[in-house]
Amino acid sequence: MFKNKQENMAAQDASNSSNIIGKGTVVEGNIETFGNIRIEGKVNGSVVSKSKIVLGQSSVIDGNIIAQNAELSGEVKGLVEISDQLILRPSAVIDGDIATNKLIVESGATFNGGCKMGIPQKEIKIGDNGQIKSPIEDKKPTIPQTKPN
């Protein structure tokens, strides 16, 4: 019981942390954090946060975004999966599917892809390297494969 309390305190401390990827910075690979993250630079990989992701106007993400909340002003090429609220600011450009509980799209934002809203909140798992399957793709029929004789 004492160990669980220590683990909970450590997770709470981690979720209160803030991270910043500055303008002009390029990150190759996935980013995973328990805390908030603000990105002004470029990330070639997925970004996963158990808290909030904020993308500045100069940001470019070539990968998936998974978080509890997000406020996007930059460019995203990939799936955006937000368990609570997603805000697309006027300078946002999203090329990919969106799955979120609540969506706010401000005038001027560009979105090219499918959208699924009102999804039940699920736990965000850190350690999956941002590899997720689009909930939009779940609707595609599967073709059974047969073994040759």
Amino acid present at 132? I
Residue 148 clears pLDDT 90, i.e. is over it:
no
Residue indicated by tokens 């004789």: 149
**Amino acid identity, position 3:** K
Three-state SS for 17-49 is: CEEEECCCCEEECCEEECCEEEECCEEECCEEE
CA atoms within 13 A on the CB side of 145: 1
Eight-state DSSP code of residue 5: H
Q: Which amino acid is at 136?
A: I
Output the pTM of the full model. 0.75
Which tokens in the block code for residue 58?
């100069």
Lowest mean pLDDT among 15-19, 67-71, 97-101: 15-19
Q: What is the pLDDT of residues 83-127, one digit of tens each?
A: 999 999 999 999 999 999 999 999 999 999 999 998 776 777 776
